[in-house]
Structure 1
Amino acid sequence: MLITPGISTVASTIQTAIAPVFLLAGLGAILNVLAGRLARIVDRVRTLEQLHPRSTGPEHDRHVWELRILDRRITVINAALSLCVASAVMISLVVAMLFVAELVKLKIGTVVASLFIAAMLALVAGLILFLVEVRISLRAIHVRAELLERDRA
Structure 2
Amino acid sequence: MTIEHVRISLTLERLWQFSLQYYSVREVKEACLQLQNQFHGNVNLLLLLKWLDEQQVSFRDEDWHKVEECLGRSEALLHSFRELRRKAKVHLPDTLYRESLQFELQLEKQQQSDLVDCMNSLQLTNNQSEPLTLRYCRQLGGEHLFQAFSEPAPTQVNQ
Task: Name the TM-score, length of structure 2 as normaliser.
Answer: 0.36
Higher relative contact order (CA 8 A, sep 6+): 2
